[in-house]
């Protein structure tokens, strides 16, 4: 082996996320679902024991999926396979890395294992994606080594309102930083509770240092295209596909709408006759203590 | 210089489109994101970027890109496939999903180096482009490898596992991602291929 070979570098970790841009990452719980997702044109699948809507309904402690489920899905598809570990549960992350999953999602959808600290993601060769509701949270995760971000939205609701709020928040905070003079950046870092060097980088480049997808509440092709038009690099669809009446058709339609997000005529065509979308939840009826988006620190 | 305002298309169905467009512009050419077959008219070269080959392959079918791209290739328009793009242009792809565009006489294996934890970057010597004294920092992400090359195919770089850069007439084939680095040499080489080929693809597509 050539001596110059380096694995698990920042370029390699962030690079896979770059390759997923413009695509749809779908939550799947069985190998049949994984094959439907791949056939529909998903760029990756998230291997889970239960989709977020079912996690929400079941209550109790939600943990990393059974390795048997993840392994079966890894065997079934050629696209990358992601899997979730609990916030701060670095041993679940070690297990997922040892299994060879392609991306670890340190996810608020599972029950947090540490109320203060997230995983030290620099220690891992496998890249991590993390959720954020604002720029400060995103930069803290990137500071810990996350190679990809996703806005959290509110998982398992089929309601896109929180996804929109979080995407707009992050992009407007990025835009604001880009207008600030250098002497204002330390104060901005203090307000955002974010690492100063990353704040300076965002101010200089006018964008996040890593790819940022949208997640949490996308249920229709129009939802996916909405998030893309707002500035998402791609979308995660969790419960929205396999909690709907016709998952294969809906998955296919969401992929088309994500690719051609600026073409409303096409979105109209692919949205015809998809059957029932997932039922969905009104955010105000969930109760603040049951909102998943506030997990993570 | 090679670039000089010539229009280069980047197939923009999914993947690292933005990076290739930026690189093309840095080299002095005009980058055009191609989302529909009609976007192919008037481009003098086409880059098929990295992304997920399965996903891009399905969108190529869905939007009937295969015939116009094959016609461009036959007409001699330079085409550069990187990573997923390499899988899409290869005549033979091992394993499931099979051949998509079939433009270059090579056999390709997907994910030939393993899964993401095995993705890597390394110094690479490229014949005539990046010699020993200034090798190319090549980024391989869940990369394919070229296992066999037909008689007309020129091998430009190889590693222990197989060929990672090759040229079959007007089709350039790369397993790695120059668009994720600051090194413009491969894009400039492609633009020289374009300058040598001369002329945009027909407007009838």
Structure tokens at A158: 């089929």
Counting as low any pLDDT under 70, the low residues of chain A are: 1
Residue B98 lies in a domain: yes
* H or E stretch at B23: helix B17-26
Closest CA to A77 of A25, A139, A148, A138: A25
pLDDT of residue A43: 98
State pLDDT tens for residues B61-78. Answer: 999 999 999 999 999 999
In terms of Cβ atoms closer than 10 Å to its own Cβ (0-12, 13-18, 19+), residue B1 is exposed
The beta-carbon neighbor of A21 closest among B15, B54, B122 is: B15
Q: Give the separation between CA B44 and CA B190, rounded to whole angstroms.
A: 11
**Would you say B11 and B46 are in contact if contact means Cβ atoms under 8 Å apart?**
yes
Q: Give the separation between CA A275 and CA A241, rounded to whole angstroms.
A: 11
Q: Give the separation between CA A192 and CA B89, rounded to whole angstroms.
A: 46
The beta-carbon neighbor of A6 closest among B52, B115, B120 is: B120
pLDDT of residue A88: 98
In terms of Cβ atoms closer than 10 Å to its own Cβ (0-12, 13-18, 19+), residue B66 is middle
Residue B60 lies in a domain: yes
- Kindly give, in sequence order, each residue whose CB lies less than 8 Å from that of residue B168, ignoring residues fewer than 6 positions away: B103, B104, B105, B106, B149, B150, B152, B153, B154
pLDDT of residue A49: 87
Closest CA to B127 of B157, B170, B158: B157
Q: Supply the ipTM of this predicted assembly.
A: 0.93
Give B-chain residues touching A42 at CB under 8 angstroms.
55
Residue B106 lies in a domain: yes
Residue B85 lies in a domain: yes
Residue B11 lies in a domain: yes
Residue B2 lies in a domain: no
Q: Per-residue DSSP letters for B81-137? A: EETHHHHHHEEEE-STT--SS--EEEEEETTTT-SGGG-EEEEE-BTTTB-TTS-EE
Q: Which residue of A has its CA nearest to B56?
A: A41
pLDDT of residue B3: 59
Helix, strand, coil % in chain B, rounded to nearest 5 = 30, 30, 40
pLDDT of residue B162: 97
Tell me which of A1, A3, A8, A12 to substitute to probe the interface with B (most B C-beta atoms closer than 10 Å). A12
Q: Tell me which residues of A are annotated as active site.
A: 84
CATH of the domain at B178: 3.40.50.880
pLDDT of residue A287: 87
Q: Helix and strand tally (H, E) in chain B?
A: 5, 12
Cα four-point dihedral sign B117, A127, B98, A76: positive
Residue B204 lies in a domain: no
For the beta carbon of residue A149, count every other beta carbon within 10 angstroms.
Answer: 27
pLDDT of residue A110: 95
For the beta carbon of residue A219, count every other beta carbon within 10 angstroms.
Answer: 24
In terms of Cβ atoms closer than 10 Å to its own Cβ (0-12, 13-18, 19+), residue A257 is buried
Number of domains in chain B: 1
> Is B83 one of the annotated active-site residues of the chain?
yes
pLDDT of residue B204: 43
> Is B27 one of the annotated active-site residues of the chain?
no
pLDDT of residue B201: 64
pLDDT along chain B (205 residues), means of 10: 80 97 97 97 96 96 97 97 97 89 96 96 96 96 97 97 97 98 97 88 49
Which residue range(s) make up the domain with B102?
7-197
Residue B59 lies in a domain: yes
Q: What is the pTM of this model?
A: 0.95
Q: Give the separation between CA A12 and CA B116, rounded to whole angstroms.
A: 8
**Would you say A149 and A138 are in contact if contact means Cβ atoms under 8 Å apart?**
yes
The beta-carbon neighbor of A11 closest among B83, B114, B121 is: B121
């Amino acid at each position: 082996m050539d001596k110059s070979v380096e694995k698990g570098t920042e370029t390699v970790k962030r690079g896979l996320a770059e390759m997923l841009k413009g695509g749809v990452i779908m939550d799947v719980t069985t190998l049949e679902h994984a094959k439907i997702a791949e056939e529909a044109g998903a760029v990756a699948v998230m291997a889970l024991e239960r989709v977020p809507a079912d996690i929400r309904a079941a209550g109790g402690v939600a943990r990393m999926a059974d390795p048997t489920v993840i392994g079966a899905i890894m065997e079934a598809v050629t696209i990358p396979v992601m899997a979730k570990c609990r916030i701060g549960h670095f041993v679940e992350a070690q297990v997922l890395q040892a299994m060879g999953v392609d991306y670890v999602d340190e996810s608020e959808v599972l029950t947090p294992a540490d109320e203060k600290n997230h995983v030290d993601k620099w220690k891992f060769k496998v890249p991590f994606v993390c959720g954020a509701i604002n720029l400060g949270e995103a930069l803290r995760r990137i500071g810990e080594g996350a190679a990809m971000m996703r806005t959290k939205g509110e998982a398992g609701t089929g309601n896109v309102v929180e996804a929109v709020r979080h995407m707009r928040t992050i992009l407007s905070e990025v835009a604001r930083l880009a207008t600030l003079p250098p002497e204002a950046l330390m104060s901005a870092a203090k307000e955002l509770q974010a690492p100063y060097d990353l704040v300076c980088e965002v101010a200089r480049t006018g964008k996040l240092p890593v790819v940022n997808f949208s997640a949490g509440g996308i249920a229709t092709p129009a939802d996916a295209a909405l998030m893309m038009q707002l500035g998402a690099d791609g979308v995660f669809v969790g419960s929205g596909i396999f909690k709907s009446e016709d998952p294969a058709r809906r998955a296919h339609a969401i992929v088309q709408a994500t690719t051609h997000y600026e073409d409303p005529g096409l979105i109209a065509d692919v949205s015809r006759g998809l059957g029932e979308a997932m039922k969905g939840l009104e955010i105000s009826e969930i109760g603040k203590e049951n909102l998943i988006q506030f997990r993570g620190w | 210089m090679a670039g000089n305002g010539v229009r280069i298309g980047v197939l923009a169905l999914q993947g690292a489109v933005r990076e290739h467009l930026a690189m093309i512009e840095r080299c002095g050419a005009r980058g055009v994101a191609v989302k529909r077959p009609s976007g192919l008219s008037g481009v003098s070269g086409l880059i098929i970027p990295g992304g997920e080959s399965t996903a891009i392959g399905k969108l190529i079918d869905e939007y009937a890109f295969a015939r116009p791209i094959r016609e461009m290739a036959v007409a001699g328009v330079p085409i550069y496939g990187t990573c997923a793009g390499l899988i899409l242009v290869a005549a033979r792809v091992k394993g499931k999903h099979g051949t998509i565009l079939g433009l270059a006489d090579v056999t390709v294996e997907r994910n030939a180096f393993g899964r993401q934890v095995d993705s890597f970057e390394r110094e690479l010597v490229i014949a005539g482009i990046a010699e020993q004294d200034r090798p190319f920092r090549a980024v391989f992400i869940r990369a394919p490898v070229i296992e066999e090359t037909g008689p007309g195919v020129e091998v430009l770089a190889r590693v222990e596992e197989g060929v990672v850069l090759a040229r079959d007439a007007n089709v350039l084939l790369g397993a790695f991602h120059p668009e994720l680095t600051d090194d413009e040499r491969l894009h400039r080489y492609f633009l020289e291929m374009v300058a040598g080929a001369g002329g945009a693809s027909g407007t009838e597509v």
